[in-house]
Amino acid sequence: MNSKSSSYLWTQLTNSNSPISTRHLISLVVACLLLGFFTLTFAFSPLNGEDYALTAQLDSLSAADRILWIIQRSALQITTWNARFGEQLSIFWLSIPEIFFTLANTLAFFAFSALIAMFAVEEKYWSASRLGIATFAAIALCYVFWPRMELFFWRTTAAGYLQPLVLTLAIALLFHSERARAYSLESNTRVAIAIILCFIGGCSFENIPPALIPYLAILAALRFRRKRADGPYMAAYMAAYLAGWAVLMLMPSTEFRTNWYRTHMGTPPISISYLLHQTAQIINVFLGATKGLLTALALTLIWCTVRYKANPLRNTDIVLLSIPAILCGGALLISPYIEPRAFSIAWILGIISIVRLTDKYIQRHSPRLYTLLLVGLSISAISAASIIFRDYLQFSQKVNARMEFIASEAHEGRCQSGIRIPIIQTNSDIRILNNREEWVRDNPGQISTYFKCKILIEEQ
């Protein structure tokens, strides 16, 4: 390649004014490749831990009988253990042909990334090309820095957390974006649909709605000062969201599950010393899980502040998002246990902030550096995606081999006496794969119910 053609290619790569530049084309191709990796990885992700408790072997049932089983199983779960909307999604998706769950979850991940892009790019700069690159960046950053990939690839968590998080982000976007809000108000039908979705969103989590409501209220108040006509609708959306959360919290199963965890985990009564200890635990778990994302965010902040004299605090819409992020962590003070994925809102804020800073400052002032960052991010994300796929494929092979062994032993008539199975060991980083074989070891009864066969766990 001669110097003239090289110069032309570099100009195209760094030309942010071109409607479809080479930079945009590369972003599109890599985003599609990463989504392909996502689909394959999820397709190979096997049943893991609690998955077994939320479904059954239903291949012999007709479609009507399968739907009836799902309804009955969901009703039992709502009344006896967990009434969250996401829990019911888990039962549904785990109990229908896997191809539908795989496609739906890929779509959910794309929507998740696109919603992050809509928060990251200032609304006045929204365009197909700008949002497209931001969506690619969100997809790639999730692969490289998201602290717990179980949110995307563990089946129960994908249905129970990722998909309700997509709904939560969509609800927040109604308050964040004038265009999204105007779209929802174009007809009474859309308003009704938005209210129903807000109610369902409120039923999805115990800790997120009370943390998100202050953020929504601030945005609604700011909007009301500029356009009073939107006030009643925004109040209705908030009321529906709060009502859904109230229904979830008032369900007897919610109280029962909370008390069960407190009893079995030996949670002491709330006191000053307990709250101080819990605060230290929350910070420790958060920093331990989030160090990679925090490092990337810190480096981006430092570079933009020093190189471009940027003041990140002037991005008030992003600063306001820190309210639910902090409050979600604070809600863990009274939680009987601390799951890293409870920090998902903070992680989302981290991804949004990185995309905003690079889009607003580096892309504008240093287009060549921006292009290099996109190329580097592409390479890192593809490498991460291949490693993640490898780990889930290896885990799947082990789980499938064990399933085939159980089926073979059952065919030989050994169900009555019991089939002894080993616990599967993995060497994957907890960030990539959360191996829930500990749950399998502790719940042989539920495993036996799933396989319709007496299952015994080999001693380690």
Burial of 122 (0-12, 13-18, 19+ CB in 10 A): middle
Contacts 24+ apart (CB under 8 A), 217-221: 218/320, 218/323, 219/175, 219/176, 219/320, 220/175
- The confidence score (pLDDT) of residue 9 equals 38
Q: How far is CA 251 from the centre of its chain?
A: 25
Separation CA 81–CA 58 (nearest Å): 22
- The confidence score (pLDDT) of residue 25 equals 84
- pLDDT tens for each residue of 134-191: 999 999 999 999 999 999 999 999 999 999 999 999 999 999 999 999 999 999 999 9
Provide Rg for the chain, Cα atoms: 24
- pLDDT tens for each residue of 413-452: 999 999 999 999 999 999 999 999 999 999 999 999 999 9
Share of the chain above pLDDT 90, in %: 81
- pLDDT tens for each residue of 260-297: 998 888 888 889 999 999 999 999 999 999 999 999 99
- The confidence score (pLDDT) of residue 368 equals 87
Catalogue the E-assigned strands of 29-168: none
Q: What separation in angstroms does the CA of 402 have from each of 155, 408, 432, 451? A: 19, 10, 22, 12
Instruction: List the domain boundaries for the chain.
Output: 21-361+369-457
Angle ∠(244,245,248) on CA atoms, nearest 5? 90
Other C-beta atoms within 10 Å of 330: how many?
Answer: 14
- The confidence score (pLDDT) of residue 10 equals 39
- pLDDT tens for each residue of 44-95: 999 999 999 999 999 889 999 999 999 999 999 999 999 999 999 999 999 9
Whether 15 shows a pLDDT value over 50: the answer reads no
Overall average pLDDT of the 197-221 stretch: 96
Q: Cβ distance 424 to 398 under 8 Å?
A: yes
Whether 219 shows a pLDDT value over 80: the answer reads yes
Q: What separation in angstroms does the CA of 189 have from each of 85, 167, 186, 201? A: 23, 18, 8, 18
- The confidence score (pLDDT) of residue 20 equals 54
- The confidence score (pLDDT) of residue 417 equals 92
